[in-house]
Amino acid sequence: MIKITEKEKEAVSSLPPFERYKYFIKRVADTELMYSLKSLEGNWAISEVETSKLFPLWSAKEFAEQCLVSGWAGFEVEEIDMDVFEDELLDFIHSQGYLLNVFPVGASTGFVVDINEFAKDLSEEMKNY
């Protein structure tokens, strides 16, 4: 597992949402791991913006931990490998009509993207590895 330095955490967290998204895609293509949040009851952390429900994803545990605040304070970071994402989560996210909230920071929304666009971007990037 790659450790994120404090300096990298601050630098990446201060990037605009689309730049964080590009960073996320590269990191996940490289490590084949991503992170989200789950409640102790086993429910995923879902946020709502206007009429959309958003499923949060981060490229490292350290980034996800920064969002364990307010409504998500009782949640835990969940590591997701590519197999679990492709075999279980893709269908779940798609069937629920969720959008992906890639790399939110604190209480701010990340880059919001639909699952098809996300899958296309990630598979394109994975061809480079």
Condensed to tens digits (0 to 9), the pLDDT of residues 32-45 reads: 999 999 999 999 99
What is the CATH classification number for the domain harbouring 41? 3.40.1350.90
Give residue 76's pLDDT band: very low, low, confident or very high (50, 70, 90). very high
Dihedral, CA of residue 12, residue 17, residue 22 and residue 25, to nearest 10: 90
Instruction: Tell me the whole-structure pTM to 2 decimals.
Output: 0.94
* Number of domains within the chain: 1
Q: Quick check: is 115 in a domain?
A: yes
Q: Quick check: is 3 in a domain?
A: no
Q: Quick check: is 4 in a domain?
A: no
Q: Quote the CA–CA distance of 92 and 14 in Å, as a whole number.
A: 30
Q: Structural domain of residue 106, as residue ranges?
A: 15-126
Give residue 1's pLDDT band: very low, low, confident or very high (50, 70, 90). low
Q: Quick check: is 5 in a domain?
A: no
